[in-house]
Chains A and B, each alone.
Chain A
Amino acid sequence: MEPFRDNDELAIALRSLRPAPRAAFAAELDARVDAEFPSPVKSAATPLSRWAAKLRTAQPRRLVLPAGGVALAAIAAVTVVVAASEPGSSPSTHRLRPTHGSVQFESAPGVVKAPRHAAKASEAAVGTSAEAAAESPPAESPAEPFLANGRARAHTGPFAFPARHRDVERSAELTLGAAPDDVSDDARRVFAVVHAHDGIVLSSSIRESDNAEIAARFSLLIPAAKVGDALDALSSIDEVRSRHQATADVTAPTVGLGERLRDSRAKVEGLLSQLAAADTDAERAAAEVELRAEHNHAAALRSRLSALQRRTNLSKVQVLIETRDRAGSQGGAWGPGAALGDAGHILGIAAGVALVALAVLGPLALLAWLAWLARRSWLRRRRERALG
Chain B
Amino acid sequence: MEQALIADAGAAPRQADLAFDRLYRSSRDDVYAYVASLLRDPAAAEEVTAVAFERAYRKRSRFDPHRGEPRAWLFGIARNAALDELRRRGRQAELAAEPADLAAVGAEESAAASEQRLAVSAALASLIPRERELIALKFFAGLSNREIAAVLGLSESNAGTRLHRAITKLREACDGAI
Shortest CB-to-CB span from B153 to chain A, Å, is 8
A356 neighbours in B (Cβ, 8 Å): none
Shortest CB-to-CB span from B175 to chain A, Å, is 5
| A to B CB contacts below 8 Å, 5 in the list | A14-B124, A37-B57, A383-B80, A387-B83, A388-B93
* A25 x B9 contact (CB < 8 A): no
The CA-CA distance from A116 to B49 in the complex, in Å, is 81
Closest to B102 in A: A19
Shortest CB-to-CB span from A36 to chain B, Å, is 7
A21 neighbours in B (Cβ, 8 Å): 28-29, 32, 36, 45-46, 49
Closest to B32 in A: A21
* B86 x A33 contact (CB < 8 A): no
* A10 x B120 contact (CB < 8 A): yes
* A17 x B50 contact (CB < 8 A): no
The CA-CA distance from A296 to B38 in the complex, in Å, is 102
How extensive is the interface on chain A, given as a class?
35 or more
Closest to A37 in B: B54
A residues engaging B (CB < 8 A)? 1-4, 7, 10-11, 13-22, 25-26, 29-30, 32-33, 36-37, 57-62, 382-388
With A14-B135, A14-B139 in contact, do A29 and B33 touch (Cβ < 8 Å)? no
Closest to A25 in B: B46
Q: Within the complex, which residue of A16, A22, A36, A387 is in contact with B86, where a contact is CB–CB below 8 Å?
A: A387
A59 neighbours in B (Cβ, 8 Å): 9, 61-62, 64
With A37-B57, A57-B62, A387-B130 in contact, do A19 and B37 touch (Cβ < 8 Å)? yes
Contact code string B27-51 (vs A, CB < 8 Å = 1, else 0): 0110011001110001001100110
B residues engaging A (CB < 8 A)? 9, 17, 21, 24, 28-29, 32-33, 36-38, 42, 45-46, 49-50, 53-54, 57-59, 61-62, 64, 80, 83-84, 86-87, 92-93, 96-99, 102, 112, 115-117, 119-121, 124, 128-130, 133, 135, 139-140, 167, 170-171, 174-175, 178
Chain A, interface SS category: helix
Closest to B79 in A: A383
Shortest CB-to-CB span from A56 to chain B, Å, is 8
The CA-CA distance from A29 to B56 in the complex, in Å, is 13
* Known pairs A21-B32, A388-B130 / 7 extra A-B pairs, C-beta < 8 Å: A4-B175, A10-B174, A15-B140, A17-B124, A29-B50, A58-B62, A386-B83
The CA-CA distance from A1 to B177 in the complex, in Å, is 10
* A22 x B42 contact (CB < 8 A): yes
A29 neighbours in B (Cβ, 8 Å): 28, 49-50, 53
With A382-B87, A386-B87, A387-B93 in contact, do A26 and B36 touch (Cβ < 8 Å)? no
Q: Within the complex, which residue of B28, B92, B120 is in contact with A14, where a contact is CB–CB below 8 Å?
A: B120
B135 neighbours in A (Cβ, 8 Å): 14
The CA-CA distance from A386 to B96 in the complex, in Å, is 16
